[in-house]
Amino acid sequence: MSNLDYLKSEHHEFLDAAAEAMADDRLQGILGQLNDSFSQRNRDAWNAFPGSDQAREQARAIKDETLAELDKHLETLERSVMEGGGTVHWAADGEEACDAVLKIARSANAQRVVKSKSMTSEEIHLNQALETAGIETVETDLGEYILQVAGHRPSHIVAPAVHLSATDVASVLSTVSETPLANNRKELTAFARRKLRQSFAAADIGITGVNFAIAETGSIVLISNEGNARLTTSLPRIHIAIMGMEKVIPRLQDLPYFLKVLARAATGQKQSVYASIVTGARRAEEIDGPEEFHLIILDNGRSRILQGPLRESLFCIRCGACLNACPIYRNVGGHAYGGVYAGPIGAVITPLYDGLSENHHLPHASSLCGACQAACPVKIAIPDLLIKLREQLHQEPGQLGFFETAAYRFWARALRSPFAYRIGTWLATRTLGRWKRRSGWLQRLPGKLHGWTQKRDFPAPAPNRFRDWWKHEGRNEP
Ligand code: SF4
């Protein structure tokens, strides 16, 4: 296995991390193969689904309608969960959410936790909080389990260990097996299953995320392909579900629209293998299920985002399709983005959750080609959101240097004054238009502008301005 240590640390300098990822031949080989197959499956799934556009529009409309009255739907959800015998905990941030989990664990004297895949628990760094409190925590999604053993962060929303080959996985899992494991997917899966069954049987608490929470019934919906979420919610005596507050949907009848689009966008399947609807704890007449059900509803900046111009980012159903479609993600992988969420949607929400200036490269980590929006099952206008973030970023003090600030001010003024515009275009055609031109492209711009031509040529301005051409020739042309 090549040196994967850099996958363990959180990078906040996107450019350095991206350069590192681009230089990793092993990673490049994996990304090339996997993302092509993901994208192709995603396209095939949409093409084979005649009502896809309608279903996507409907899912989007439900999200929009829900967010318009989010407080009302969350209150209904709380009421329904309590009527079903569950307990609701409100968490303003990650710390409060972790504290709520630890409080439940302590009052139940819990020693062992199993978890099914949850990006929200990654967002709040729950595993670290549990381990610091001395509670043994085991990830039970196969990809997450591999990452936990390796000490890596997830690199994809739905395929967290996508950056590892089967050889890498054999090498990682061999560190916890008695004998070295071969590079054989079936054997590796069987080994993980054996290990995880023991953890399920011994666990006091099962922690899951929430794909959707249905306000009218107080149910949570879990979508998976491995079945581990079902064991997590049914074997341990306590079930804790953690959701971002935007995961609520008003009615049970809204769910099919999301089920139709989520699986197709995520993995190209018509349906995921398991869609579990869990309502509260075990009832008196039931033979299995947890004794307690707790739902933690996390804000962590979402109510602020809801009020602002990037509200649409809350439509996200975490399918990962925008990652597979994005030419940047396909080249640099997930770890370069630094935060928990990678790819185009990560470039939008990581700065919103973790701070814009701390993640100032992310809004620029996009070619704005629109592939993400085309792939998104709820048609989030990600390029527009990235542009809005860039605007916000440039308004923050200290983000633009003296030269850039002066240049943009001058440009803005010139564009507002016809006289200045005329002079500017005259100067541009007489300097850049004639300077080092070869086949209509400039290979190197001077001074502070050289960054524009570091990686690509710059289109040279025409040697004559349109207004001159029009004056002398254009108007006489038929
Ligand atoms: S932004 Fe859209 S495509 Fe990307 S993860 Fe969210 S729902 Fe999926």
Nearest to 306 by CA among 40, 70, 26: 70
Helices (H), 214-342: 228-234, 255-267, 302-307, 321-325, 329-332
- The pLDDT score that the predictor gives to residue 10 is 52
Q: Which ligand 1 atom lies nearest to the CA of residue 317?
A: 7
Among 303, 319, 346, where does a domain finish? 303
- The pLDDT score that the predictor gives to residue 6 is 45
Q: Select the more confidently predicted residue: 409 or 79.
A: 79
- The pLDDT score that the predictor gives to residue 4 is 46
For 453, the domain range is 405-476
Among 273, 303, 333, where does a domain finish? 303
Average pLDDT rounded to a whole number, residues 426-440: 73
Q: Ligand 1 centre and the CA of 389: distance in Å?
A: 17
Q: Which of 223, 329, 380 to mutate to test the pocket of ligand 1 (most atoms within 8 A of CB)?
A: 380
pLDDT tops 80 at residue 154: yes
Residue 376 falls inside a structural domain: no
Q: Ligand 1 centre and the CA of 287: distance in Å?
A: 38
Q: Ligand 1 centre and the CA of 6: distance in Å?
A: 26
Per-residue pLDDT of 9-28, as tens digits, reads 554 588 899 999 999 999 99
Q: Which ligand 1 atom lies nearest to the CA of residue 344?
A: 4
Average pLDDT rounded to a whole number, residues 273-293: 93
- The pLDDT score that the predictor gives to residue 436 is 59
Query: CB within 6 Å of ligand 1 — which residues?
Result: 157, 265, 316-322, 345, 375-378, 380
432 and 292 within one domain: no
260 and 120 within one domain: yes
Q: What is the mean pLDDT of the chain?
A: 91
- The pLDDT score that the predictor gives to residue 1 is 38
Helices (H), 226-285: 228-234, 255-267
Residue 157 falls inside a structural domain: yes
Q: How far apart are the first and last CA of the chain?
A: 67
117 and 234 within one domain: yes
How far is residue 362's CA from residue 456's CA, in Å, rounded to a whole number? 20
> 58-72, 159-173, 293-307: lowest mean pLDDT where?
159-173
Check if the beta carbon of residue 239 is closer than 8 Å to that of residue 206. yes
Q: Which ligand 1 atom lies nearest to the CA of residue 379?
A: 2
Q: Ligand 1 centre and the CA of 316: distance in Å?
A: 5
Residue 454 falls inside a structural domain: yes
How far is residue 377's CA from residue 385's CA, in Å, rounded to a whole number? 16
Q: Which residues contact 63 (CB under 8 A, 6 or more apart)?
A: 314, 315, 378
- Count CB-CB contacts under 10 A for residue 179: 7
Give every strand in the sheet of 248-249, ordered side by side. 248-249, 212-214, 219-224, 274-278
Written as six digits, the tokens of 51 are 């009502």
Q: Ligand 1 centre and the CA of 311: distance in Å?
A: 14
CA-nearest residue for atom 6, ligand 1, is 316
pTM of the prediction? 0.87
- Count CB-CB contacts under 10 A for residue 320: 27
CA-nearest residue for atom 3, ligand 1, is 376
Per-residue pLDDT of 228-253, as tens digits, reads 999 999 999 999 999 999 999 999 99
Token look-up 């009302």 returns 72
Q: Which residues contact 439 (CB under 8 A, 6 or more apart)?
A: none
Among 303, 329, 353, where does a domain finish? 303
Long-range residue pairs from 467-471, CB within 8 A, at least 24 positions apart, any chain: 467/422, 467/425
Report in angstroms the alpha-carbon separations of 7 from 50, 176, 355.
Answer: 41, 19, 22
Q: Please tell me the total count of domains within the chain.
A: 2
- The pLDDT score that the predictor gives to residue 435 is 66
Residue 237 falls inside a structural domain: yes
Per-residue pLDDT of 54-110, as tens digits, reads 999 999 999 999 999 999 999 999 999 999 999 999 999 999 999 999 999 999 999
- Using alpha carbons only, give the angle 144, 145, 146 rounded to the nearest 5 degrees: 90
Report in angstroms the alpha-carbon separations of 97 from 124, 245, 397.
Answer: 7, 12, 32
Per-residue pLDDT of 192-219, as tens digits, reads 999 999 999 999 999 999 999 999 999 9
Residue 205 falls inside a structural domain: yes
- The pLDDT score that the predictor gives to residue 55 is 95
Residue 195 falls inside a structural domain: yes
Helix (H, G, I), strand (E, B) or coil at 102: helix
Q: Ligand 1 centre and the CA of 455: distance in Å?
A: 29
CA-nearest residue for atom 4, ligand 1, is 322
Residue 312 falls inside a structural domain: no
213 and 65 within one domain: yes
Q: Which of 38, 378, 384, 385 to mutate to test the pocket of ligand 1 (most atoms within 8 A of CB)?
A: 378
Q: Which ligand 1 atom lies nearest to the CA of residue 376?
A: 3
Residue 2: pLDDT band (50, 70, 90) is very low
Nearest to 252 by CA among 13, 12, 375, 76: 76
Q: What is the CATH number of the domain that holds 91?
A: 3.40.50.10420
Q: Select the more confidently predicted residue: 316 or 442.
A: 316
Q: Ligand 1 centre and the CA of 150: distance in Å?
A: 27
68 and 203 within one domain: yes
Residue 11 falls inside a structural domain: no
